[in-house]
């Protein structure tokens, strides 16, 4: 058991940023503890996207995530009996978590057959600046832009 843990630790030390992101994404896709099934689904989706776009799979994945990541969001703040939507900056960990969540949720809502195809299609849409996850990011940014007058309530 100890050898297996050491191997995993060594992999994560020498892994590139994209490989670490992909490993974390597998954990987010996983349902009911079925990591191997999630890993197969994500791998097939990455390979499908790689075949369609013609660039390395991890580069496509990273660019799609960068396109989805929001930079600002609004948070409710109660001041003097009124509730304001205050735009705030998002830390990088939350940006990645939101990007993962949006990519997975909008993939699940697509009409293609099989989650691999759904995930690959949503990923390619995100790579090309379209799709449900990109729309969600734009809506979040529009909301923050519309409420920037309340930015002085930031805490």
Q: Which two tokens stand for residue 117?
A: 């195809």
What does the pLDDT read at residue 11? Answer: 54
What does the pLDDT read at residue 116? Answer: 92
Estimate the crossing angle of helix 57-68 against helix 132-146, to 10 degrees.
Answer: 30
What does the pLDDT read at residue 63? Answer: 93
- Of the chain, the end-to-end C-alpha distance in Å amounts to 47
The residues of the chain scoring below 70 in pLDDT are: 1-15, 154-155
| Coil, helix or strand at residue 56 | coil
Instruction: Kindly report the number of other CB atoms within 10 A of residue 94's CB atom.
Output: 13
Helix intervals (H) in 15-131: 17-29, 35-53, 57-68, 92-108, 115-127
| Residue (of 60, 62, 146, 124) closest to 99 by Cα position | 62
CA distances 146 to 63, 73, 141, 143, 154, Å, are 27, 11, 9, 5, 15
What does the pLDDT read at residue 151? Answer: 74
Contact criterion met (CB below 8 Å) for 79 and 113? no
pTM: 0.83
What does the pLDDT read at residue 62? Answer: 92
| Coil, helix or strand at residue 86 | strand
What does the pLDDT read at residue 68? Answer: 94
Domains of the chain: 2-153 (1.10.455.10)
What does the pLDDT read at residue 10? Answer: 56
């Amino acid at each position: 058991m100890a050898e297996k843990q050491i191997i995993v630790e060594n992999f994560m030390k020498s892994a590139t940023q994209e490989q670490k992101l992909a490993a974390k994404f597998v954990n987010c896709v996983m349902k009911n503890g079925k990591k191997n099934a999630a890993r197969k689904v994500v791998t097939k989706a990455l390979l499908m996207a790689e075949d369609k776009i013609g660039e390395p799979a991890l580069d496509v994945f990273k660019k799609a995530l960068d396109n989805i990541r929001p930079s600002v969001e609004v948070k409710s703040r109660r001041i003097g009996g009124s509730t304001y939507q205050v735009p705030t900056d998002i830390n990088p960990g939350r940006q990645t978590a939101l990007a993962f969540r949006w990519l997975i949720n909008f993939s699940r809502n697509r009409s293609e057959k099989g989650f691999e195809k759904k995930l690959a299609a949503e990923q390619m849409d995100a790579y090309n600046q379209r799709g449900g996850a990109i729309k969600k990011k734009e809506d979040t940014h529009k909301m923050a832009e519309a409420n920037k007058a309340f930015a002085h309530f930031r805490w």
